[in-house]
Amino acid sequence: MAQRACIDVLDKIAVATSEYFAIPGSARDVYFSNRWFANSKKGQPLAWHPSLYPHIDRGNTAVIALAEISLDVGEGGALHWKKAYRHSSTHRFTVLHDLGCNPSRKSAHVQHCEIADFKSHLIESLQLARAAVLYFVEMISIAEMANTASPPKKLPIRIPSHHYIRGEDDHDHETPHRTRKRQRVRKRSKS
């Protein structure tokens, strides 16, 4: 279940990206593997989806990072096994073995895997999902900063002195010299 959820997060990122950037098309046809590039014919080089190109042109490097992940998870990519495990657990049965991986009988509907290998793939899938979520957040952050017409507002912050916070000083932001002088005057008046 966790393996499947990790890969499903990627598709949800693609849908959220489509919604945020108002990319046209049916939400039912949006997958992490097809969101970033325009549909191209076999043998043609990849081209950015026309709705994403302006964001890439403005320097949204997180879009590029998400597209790179999609290529890695896609067929022939370095992380393709993550998606294959997800499909196996969604559409077939996965049997985990603690000692050896020798099924008693072969079946096209059952995938056999050693527990150690599955755990390793699961941890990598969790790391992949975390990275994709972080890139998604960064993508939105970069886009929001680019959409801001004016620089962010800066407000001055007044930080009271340590002595003022502790109630030892009625005068905030005094110089150390003036504070010492006032303390000497207090000592004399007590005597």
Do 95 and 131 fall into the same domain? Answer: yes
For residues 32 and 74, the answer to whether their CB atoms sit within 8 Å is: no
CB 39 within 8 Å of CB 33 = no
Whether the pLDDT of residue 181 is over 90: the answer is no
Q: Are residues 50 and 82 in the same domain?
A: yes
Residues 86 and 171 placed together within one structural domain of the fold: no
Statement to judge: residues 122 and 183 lie in one domain: no
Comparing 176 with 138, the larger pLDDT belongs to 138
In a domain, 164, yes or no: yes
Is 61 inside any structural domain? yes
- What is the reported pLDDT for 22? 92
If one compares 21 and 26, the residue with the highest pLDDT of the two is: 21
User: pTM of the prediction?
Assistant: 0.65
- Specify the higher pLDDT residue, 176 or 52: 52
pLDDT of 170 strictly over 70: no
How buried is residue 26: exposed, middle or buried, by Cβ count under 10 Å (0-12/13-18/19+)? exposed
What count of other Cβ atoms lies within 10 Å of the Cβ of residue 89? 18
Q: What are phi and psi of 114, to 5 degrees?
A: -75, 145
Calpha distance 48→177 (Å, rounded): 64
| pLDDT at position 135 over 90 | yes
d(CA 15, CA 32): 8
